[in-house]
Amino acid sequence: MVIVGGGGTGDAAAFALRKKGFDGDIAILSADLDRPYDRPYLSKEFVRGEIEAPKVFLHEEADYAKEHIELQLDQRVAGGSVEERKLMLAGGREVSFDVLVLGLGGTPRRLPGIPDAANVVTLRSLRDSQAIRDALGRAKRLLLIGAGFIGAEVAASARKLGKDVLIVEALPVPLQRALGREVGEIYAGIHRDEGVDLRTDTRVDVWHSSRDRVTGVTLSDGTREEADLALVAVGIEPNLELPKALGLPIEGGGVRVDEGLRAAEDVYVGGDIALHRHPVLGRSIRVEHWEVAKNQGRGIGASIADGHTPYRRLPYFWSDQYDVSLEYRGHASGDDTAVWRGDRAGRQFSVFYLRKGIVEAVLSLNDSKTNELGGKLVESRRRIEPSALESSGADLAELAGLTGS
C-alpha cells in the first residue's frame, strides 16, 4: 500500500487500514518536511501562539512505528505508471505498489502582479503558519488579499493579537459564491464590528515596495494603504500533475472518482483533488475542506479493507472566527434558495439551501443542534416546503423522517 500525500486523506487512510486489520506494508510518501498535522490550527490557535507544534501533529512520531506505517518525508513523486504499478520519485528512486492512494491537496494560488517579496506570504503548511506567526509578532498592520475562510480566520486571529487588519476582497461580499450574498453580508458585519477594515468589490492596482519588502498598496478605490505584512489567501490550485502523469481521469478541476472514491483499478483519490460521485447527493462534487479530506481518507481505508463500497458521508466543515462558530453540512451554491431559521440579528441561526424543494446543505452560526438535524434533512432527500423550515417550532427530526411520524 503506497499513499502519496501526508495530509488529512493520506494519514487517515493509513490508520484506518490498520484499524480495519490490514496487515500488509503501508508507506506514506509526503512532500512535507513535517509529519502529518491538523491544518485547522494553522489559521487559528497555532498562528496566535496559543499552542505549540506538538499539539498540532495528528500522531506522535512513535505511533507510525507502532502501527508499522512507514512515513517518508520530503519525498516528491514526479511520475509513474498505473499499469506497471510503480512511482518515480523526484530523486530518481522507484517505488512499487499494489494499491495506490492519492491525497495530494493543493498549492496556494498566486495572482498576477503580486511581487515576490519577503513579507508577502501564503498559508498552507505548518512552516507557513510558523513564519506568519513570527512575522505577526513584529507587524503592526496586516494586509489580507481575499476574504475566504483562510483569510477570514487569519484576520480574526490577527485582531485577537491586537493587529490592524485590512482585507481586500474582489467580490461584493465575502463568501458570496459559497454561502450566498446575505450570509456574506453578515460575515462582513462581524469583521467590521471587530475593527477590520474590509474593502469589498476592491482590488489591488499597484504594489509599493522598498528593497525586498512590500510597504503598501494602491487600491482600485483610489486609496493608498500601508502594510508591513501581506497574506495572499485566494484559494488553491489542486495538485493534479501526478494524476495527469498517471493517466487518471481529470474533470471539474480534480480527479474523477466513483462513489467509493476509486479513480482506477486499485487507485483511490481523496481530499481537495477528488471529484466524487456522491451517492447521497446524486451528483459529482469536489470540496476543499480539511474535514472532508480526513473523512474521505477513513472511507478509502475502510473501502480497501472491507471491499469496495460507496462513501456516503456528507461534506462537513466548520470555522471559528471571534465568538462565532460556523458549521456546514452538505453541498450547495450561493445560487440555491436560502431559507432562514433563527435569530439573524443575534447571530444564532441556520440557513437551509434548497434546490427543487430538496435540502442540499445547511449552514449554522452558533446553532449546532440545528446543523446536525439539518444534515439528516439533506440525507433524507425529501421534498420540503420552505415554510416548514422557517418556523423555529417545526420538528426537524420529524421532517427528516426520524420520528416515525
Q: What is the pLDDT of residues 208-251, one digit of tens each?
A: 999 999 999 999 999 999 999 999 999 999 999 999 999 999 99
Q: Give backbone dihedrals phi and psi of 142, rounded to 5 degrees, phi first.
A: -100, 130
pTM for this one? 0.94
107-142 pLDDT, tens digit per residue, is: 999 889 999 999 999 999 999 999 999 999 999 999
- Are 9 and 296 within 8 A, CB to CB? yes
Compute the distance between CA of residue 255 and CA of residue 238 in angstroms, rounded to an integer. Answer: 10
| Domains, the chain | 2-106+236-306 (3.50.50.60), 110-232 (3.50.50.60), 323-399 (3.30.390.30)
* Amino acid residing at 77: V
DSSP assignment of 88-125? EETTS-EEE-SSEEE---EEE---TT----TTEE---S
2-34 pLDDT, tens digit per residue, is: 999 999 999 999 999 999 999 999 999 999 999
**pLDDT score at 404:** 59
The one-character DSSP state at 304 is: H
Mark 48-64 as b/e (b = at least 16 C-beta within 10 Å).
Answer: beeeeeeebbbbeeeeb
Task: Name the pairing type of β-strands 316-321 and 324-330.
Answer: antiparallel
Which is it for the CA torsion 377, 320, 40, 146, positive or negative?
positive
Distances (CA, A) of 132 to 141, 192, 237, 308: 13, 22, 21, 42
Which is it for the CA torsion 265, 271, 273, 276, positive or negative?
positive
**pLDDT score at 178:** 80
Percentage of the residues of the chain whose pLDDT score is greater than 70: 100
366-401 pLDDT, tens digit per residue, is: 999 999 999 999 999 999 999 999 988 888 999 988
- Are 379 and 398 within 8 A, CB to CB? no
**pLDDT score at 393:** 80
